[in-house]
Amino acid sequence: VGTVRNHCWKCLYSKHVDLEVPGDRASLCGGLMQPVGLDYKGKKGYQLKQKCLLCEKEQLNILAEDDKQDNLNLFLNLRI
């Protein structure tokens, strides 16, 4: 539905590939992005907050539509 998932739908981790803006793929870090929370922004809805385990950069990622259904237990354990 107009968005591409950048995180694993099972564990919600991803690889640190974006540097400045989502989709730029300019980061050389390559660390694991750990899910650390949820945020809610009007039009974007719920966003997954992740933090890199190597460089500690934090970023938000829009959730894919089926994330909410596929892994509800993981979302319930994250803080808003």
Q: What is the pLDDT of residues 12-22, one digit of tens each?
A: 899 999 888 87
30 domain residue, yes or no: yes
- Its domain, for residue 51, covers 14-77
6 domain residue, yes or no: no
pTM of the model: 0.75
pLDDT at 66: 61
pLDDT above 50 (res 31): yes
pLDDT above 50 (res 72): yes
Strand 32-41 to 45-52 pairing? antiparallel
The tally of domains found in the chain comes to: 1
2 domain residue, yes or no: no
pLDDT at 67: 55
Per the DSSP assignment, residues forming a β-bridge with 62 are 47
Cα 36 from Cα 38, distance rounded (Å): 7
71 domain residue, yes or no: yes
pLDDT above 50 (res 1): no
Q: Which residue has the tokens 């997954």?
A: 48
